[in-house]
Structure 1
């Protein structure tokens, strides 16, 4: 790269859905047996490229897009990979001048929205030709002079919500059609990490590195509530998922609390803290009534019964399973699996994409 990574930029670069610290692996309950991905039925694993992060499925279900920042040592720009969602074979790729991290896709499937985290911006990319149609660079800078990292991105009702990694962090509200900034929600706590739109409450939820969940009214873009489910205990809350039928909010932490929290989405009350160890990405599957959690340090993907929250099944996906994506019918799960970083920000091999048939 042409410039030195700042502390906040490195946090984003190494762990878009994780935490920079490394810990001893937490074991899966003994009753759950696992096997390498190659030996597990219903799994396709493909080594693809360096720097894989989030994924998006075309609404028609005929294309899987994977964001890649590529390498972080002497590599400029990134790539958006287009894969066959059934076989993971390549169907195209778009080389970009900036590095790519989080992804969202328009309802018509014609536009990909990607965060360019290290440069503090977002890009709108045409799925027809892979060209950047529009770009928005944010102006906030940290004390070192580096841009706030544009981390997570969420598309809802024509608006893009983008979490800004800063101290304090911000949430940018952007018109998805014009890629113009409509509002900056300030004082969002230390590092805005995860974003979730609740279908039950009609509110935006944001997680941050200070152990808070922010509840935001989308009509006026104001923070209505600040929950701290673990009180004064250290927590770096990351990713969220919702079970709208029961009003439960699932929140992961793989760094400090090393758990998955189950909260009442209306009150923020802590229902349970799951003893599953380091928890990274999380997805709720209403079709199968299951909850999926990646464990970055343990190298595992867990499937939990959504009623009892007991582990039903686990998959070995070493070294570091990262982001999750669920198909619209709830029958296919996609996972990015990352390689560890060396001290010089290089890796020992390409990251992978895994397709798991859940039937």
Structure 2
């Protein structure tokens, strides 16, 4: 997580599409859910073109959905509000900059929107939808700016963390309680795309490729406190990188970090204390997002089913046991599943699914909208059996 000059860069940043070659074939295992079975567990909404991330604000009765229908410079972005229970539309907010990533500060009632291609962070009052301010993070670069990607919030301190997947990699720390003072951390790692924050330890994990695929930073001081590495990459170059950990998720209680590897099509599980790879699980071509659900002790991983060598495939969501990583289910969701978030206190899973943009794709339809799905995790557990 879009093929011409501006769009290719944007897609790799926003969606994390493959930077290196993809080697793994789809190998999900588990029970393959049929469409009737999926229908008993999910609600689907197809109304928003250019969908990317979601964020729930249960206190406002809203699911925020970021979208950017056009990658053309100067075009707007949008945040739609849906009812998180049935995905019915509530209202739409238009933004002057294109919207990709979302993060919610529930304590302060602020919604942070990552403007990937504009290299900035939009700050919205979540209740009114008013744009409070825009924080420019990326420096001018070519005809645009250094890109932003993922956004994470530490609600205790009001700090916001933003990753940038450049060749050197950048992490920005925005202190919203100090007039949005920005700390910039350069050399955060090759393609520093993935990002997750641990509120308990205050640590921030940033992932990409290179020799040390994961950088660990003290979220308060910005100090580098460690790295995690597979040990597979020995050459410090883009071509030599064996992995691209495009997204991360954290099981803080058991000290596990989950990394979705777009290069190999696998899920990597790190034991944080030892720094060792605990497990690898084959997922599929175009492995993209990963989310650990503590409520059900399950790991959800999206794969797009498409890459450079295979552009006409479709993807799905793989469900793994959080106990032993055994595949529990494969949920086909054509064409390209994208981002994952939890809602309803961990009892619901929201998935965005993108329609194919390439006219050569067999499922391409001119003007097709993207999808948002809500899975009831109790019903999904019953369907899996």
Considering the TM-score relative to the shorter chain, is it more than 0.5? yes
Alignment counterpart, residue 148 of structure 1, candidates 142, 146, 149: 146
**1:237 paired to 2:242:** no
Structure 1 203/39 Cα, relative in aligned 2: closer, same or farther at 3 Å? Answer: closer
The more displaced of 198-207 and 301-310 is 198-207
State the Cα distance separating 1:228 from its structure 2 match: 2.2
**In the alignment, does 2:332 pair up with 1:316?**
yes
TM (norm. structure 1) is 0.89
Aligned to 1:174: 174
Q: Are residues 238 and 119 of structure 1, via their aligned partners in 2, closer, same or farther at CA, if it must alter by over 3 Å?
A: same
1:297-312 correspondence to structure 2 within 5 Å:
297=305, 298-312=314-328
1:89-120 CA-partner distances (Å, limit 9, x unpaired): 10011011111010011123622100111111
Give the stretch that moved more between structures: 235-244 or 37-46.
37-46
Q: Secondary structure at the match of 1:239?
A: strand
Cα contact 2:138–2:147 (8 A) shared by 1: no
For residues 6 and 53 of structure 1, do their structure 2 counterparts lie closer, same or farther at Cα, with a shift above 3 Å needed? closer
**Per-residue deviation, residues 241-268 of structure 1 (Å, max 9, x unmatched):** 12223211110112x1210001011232
For structure 2, the 5+ residue unaligned runs are 234-240, 306-313, 379-385
The 8 Å contact of residues 59 and 107 in structure 1, kept in 2 or not, is answered as: no
Residue 369 of structure 2 corresponds to: 350
Displacement after TM superposition at 1:39 (Å): 5.2
- Kept in 2, the 8 Å contact 1:135–1:179? The answer is no
| Cα distance between partner residues in 2 of 1:116 and 1:287 | 31
Give me the whole-angstrom Cα distance separating, in 1, the residues matched to 2:349 and 2:47: 17
Task: Point out where structure 1 has 5 or more consecutive residues left out of the alignment.
Answer: none
CA RMSD, 1 decimal: 2.7
Q: 2:290 aligns with which of 264, 269, 282?
A: 282
Q: Per-residue displacement from partner, 1:315-351 (whole Å, max 9, x unpaired)?
A: 221101110011152211000001222379x974111
Aligned length: 352
Please, which of 251, 264, 273 is the counterpart of residue 257 of structure 1? 264
Judge conservation of contact 2:249–2:290 (CA < 8 Å) in 1. yes
For 2:105 and 2:69, the matched residues in 1 are separated by 24
Distance, in Å, in 2 between the alignment partners of 1:169 and 1:343 is 33
